[in-house]
Chains A and B, each alone.
Chain A
Amino acid sequence: MVSYLIRRMVLAVITLLMITGIVYGLARAMPGTPLTVAIGETDPSRKLNPADIERMKKAYGLDKPWYTAYFVWAGNVVRGDLGRSISRKQPVATLIGERIGPTLALSGSALLLTWMLSIPLGLYASARSGAVDERAVSFGLYVLYSFPTFVAALFLQIIFAVWLRETAWELPLFGMRGDGYSTESSWLARTADVARHAILPVICQSYVSLAWYSRFIHANMQEVVRQDYIRTAKAKGAGPWRVLVHHAFRNTLIPLVTLLGLSLPALLGGSVIIEQIFTWPGMGRLFFESIRERDYPTIMGLTFMFSVLTLLGQLVADVLYAWVDPRVSVE
């Protein structure tokens, strides 16, 4: 087990170096630099003179070729320093710390909602397998799965923010907090305000995975219910519900556990599109903005975090798999 973990870690570090190296090279190859893009776009009269640009380039290490700069960056990361954002004049770690809360609030509630709804839905579909209502529900889920998130987001915005405007059902179009947030004194009112803003993004973020998870559970259940031990359970007189939940569902938990590991990066990484549509101040939006601003330290900090989470998620999934299923061994 220990030697397996060590081997996986070594491979993960190599992969990580390759990923960050590639992204660093790509980021530096993008046309424009953080200095020219950020300042020139907002106000042409404030364009820096060439001497200043040279001075700032030196200060941020942009005068070095990308491979040298990459190793400087990697060395700093090893020492626990993600660098300072060029366009925001703040440490990258602080920026990530600010954004991680909103993203976690959004994706955490979305994940919770997904699991709470998809397990009953999947079980229901397995119980009624083949019946007309199950087919209708399954087809509905399939349709939902193919529905593009950004189209759904626009539809929801039209319905709840335009058509239902000035009714009790109106929901905010974007942002995380209303205008009255800072004047609200009670903790409850503030939470309610954020929750109202979160409803639409959470729906958008959860419906695709809801459809996917339910189908996944249903498909796994269909494999399991054909096993002999299910027939045995039925033969000894267990009721249909007990067979389904106690005997069948427990055995479909194994692939579900691996899914939990694989959803780790999405949990903290956020969704660029949803956060962009609803202007939710999370990680995805930070990433999108940092690409537009050519803010190399932030791009790299986020890429580093995404990649670590992805690799960690895969490792956790594999280890968990071996842990819940004694037939599988990580060796």
Chain B
Amino acid sequence: MTGEPHQSAGRTSDADAARGFWSEAWKRFRGRKLSMAALGFVFFLVFVATFAPAIAGTKPVVCRYKGTIYFPCLGYFDRTLEPVIFSKDRFRGTYPANLAEKDPESWAVWPLVFQDPYRAVRENEWPGEPANPARDQGKPSARNLFGTDQYGVDVFAKMVHGTTVALLVGFVSMGLAGTIGITVGATAGYFGGWVDMLASRLIEVVMCVPTLVLILALVAFVDKPSIWKTMAIIGLTGWTGIARLTRAEFLRLRSSEFVMAARAAGAGPVRIMLKHILPNALAPVLVPITFGIASAILIESSLSFLGFGPPPPSVSWGSLLNDARSNLQMWWLVVFPGMAIFLTVLSYNLVGEGLQEATDPRLREARK
């Protein structure tokens, strides 16, 4: 599969054993071009999310104003990180003209694209540039790469800043789901008996409630929706598959010799579960977690699409699509966010599949 010529089977398998499970899995993963490309795309998204304010924004990345260096672009991450001096000096969010007017000595490094994800850029805000077109006039152009929405807000800027949500939703909700799922599954599988019975019932109940029912009920239940609450809800509803797999792995491993040895050496149940069984059960459990990230992103965007997403000003790709529903002739509102969601989901699925092929010895045998 790696494309290297197989010289002698005996020797390679010896070397494989010496290299350790994870580095061997990584080597096999690297051999899958599509999965590597997908992993690259995920890293690209991390990069975009981290440097979003430097890619698109109307606040300088770095500027020198009245003798001090400031980083106003941090305001996009959190309002409180925007230096107070600019609101004191009545900048009102408009930097280019104010900087030049209030301190002729000042200089600034601007984001790559001078567009704001929260409002339309006005005429002459950037000297000599026209205002963003509003309503259905905002076709993609050199100024607005992905066009503008009905209020004239730049779609490219919205999407760049929405990347953070797409990434966080995946990691935070699956981090939560993974923690719950592994805890419930490990307890059920390790102790068995009535603990297992109770946990299995719980898993079945959560699995049987239609996901969207549970999510819509919980979304309606929280008073002030925010992106964090959405993530928590997706995590709270998405752990059942992980729990089932963990349970099966723990059931299989709990009677194995190394566990018996650990128990004989006097290790307590928590230590055995965490230090002895979990590392051996981790690989098969990581696969559904990776697929879960893909479905978490899907669920978040469909919630935003149905209008149950976090309220503005937070931008998510799904809410962009929701805007597009009533303006279908503005195709750019559908195509760009739609493709972004699709590519992200596809990437996580490809990474998950690569992980599965790289870590599952059964599949490896099958391919020979």
| A-to-B contact residues, CB < 8 Å | 11, 14-15, 18-19, 22-23, 26-27, 29-31, 139, 142-143, 145-148, 150-151, 154-155, 157-158, 161-162, 173, 222-223, 226, 265, 269, 272-273, 276-277, 287-288, 291, 303, 306-307, 310-311
From A26, A222, A307, A311, contact of B221 by CB (8 A): A26
Interface residues of B (CB under 8 A from A): 34, 201, 204-205, 208-210, 212-214, 216-218, 220-221, 223, 294, 298, 301-302, 305-306, 321, 324-325, 328-329, 331, 334-335, 338-339, 341-342, 345-346, 349-350, 366
Q: Which residue in B208, B210, B335 is a CB contact (below 8 Å) of A15?
A: B208
A272 B298 Cβ-Cβ under 8 A: no
- In the assembled complex, which residues on chain B have CB atoms less than 8 Å from the CB atom of A143? 346
Residue of chain A at shortest CB distance from B318: A150
- On chain A, the residues within 8 Å of B341 by CB distance are 148, 151
Give the complex CA separation of A147 and B294 in angstroms.
11
Q: Do B221 and A15 touch across chains, with their CB atoms under 8 A apart?
A: no
- Using known A-B contacts A29-B221, A154-B328, A155-B338, determine if residue A146 contacts B205 with beta carbons closer than 8 Å: no
A226 touches B366 (CB 8 A): yes
B221 & A148 in contact (Cβ 8 Å cutoff): no
A selection of 6 A-B contacts at a CB cut-off of 8 Å is A23-B209, A30-B221, A150-B321, A173-B328, A276-B306, A291-B217
* Closest Cβ–Cβ distance, residue B91 to chain A (whole Å): 38
How far, in whole Å, are A193 and B225 apart by their CA atoms in the complex?
A: 41
The A interface, classified by DSSP as helix, strand, loop or mixed, is helix
Say yes or no: A27-B217 contact (C-beta < 8 A), given A146-B346, A151-B334, A303-B209.
yes
Chain B: minimal CB distance from A198 (Å): 19
Inter-chain contacts of B306 with A (CB < 8 A)? 272-273, 276, 288
- Residues on A with C-beta less than 8 A from B345 are 146-148
B328 to A14, Cβ gap below 8 A? no
> Quick one: closest B residue to A269, CB to CB?
B210
Residues of A within 8 A of B339 (CB): 151
Report the Cα distance A158→B331, complex, angstroms.
Answer: 7
Partner of B212, one of A11, A14, A148, A272: A272
Contact B302 A26 (CB under 8 A): no
Q: Could you tell me if B366 and A146 are in contact, using CB atoms closer than 8 angstroms?
A: no
Chain A residues positioned under 8 Å from B331 (CB to CB): 158, 162
A148 and B298 within 8 A (CB): yes
- Which of A31, A158, A173, A273 has a CB less than 8 Å from the CB of B334? A158
Cβ contact within 8 Å between B208 and A222:
no
Nearest-CB residue, chain B, relative to A32: B220
A154 contacts B213, C-beta separation under 8 Å? no
Which 8 A-B residue pairs are closest in the complex by CB-CB distance? A151-B338, A146-B346, A26-B217, A30-B220, A154-B334, A18-B205, A146-B345, A310-B208
B residues less than 8 Å from A223 (CB atoms): 366
Residues of B within 8 A of A311 (CB): 208
Residues of B within 8 A of A269 (CB): 210
For the complex, what is the distance from the CA of A6 to the CA of B279, rounded to whole Å?
Answer: 40
Q: What's the minimum C-beta distance from B332 to chain A, rounded to whole angstroms?
A: 10
Inter-chain contact B302/A150, CB cutoff 8 Å: yes
Known A-B contacts A30-B217, A148-B342, A155-B338; A162 and B329 likewise in contact (beta carbons under 8 Å):
yes
Q: How far is the CA of A223 from the CA of B366 in the complex (A)?
A: 8
Q: Which residue on chain A has the smallest CB distance to residue B216?
A: A291
Residues in B with CB closer than 8 Å to A265 are 210
Supply 14 further A-B pairs (C-beta < 8 A) apart from A142-B346, A277-B325.
A27-B217, A146-B346, A147-B346, A150-B301, A151-B342, A154-B324, A161-B328, A173-B328, A265-B210, A272-B212, A272-B306, A291-B213, A303-B210, A310-B210
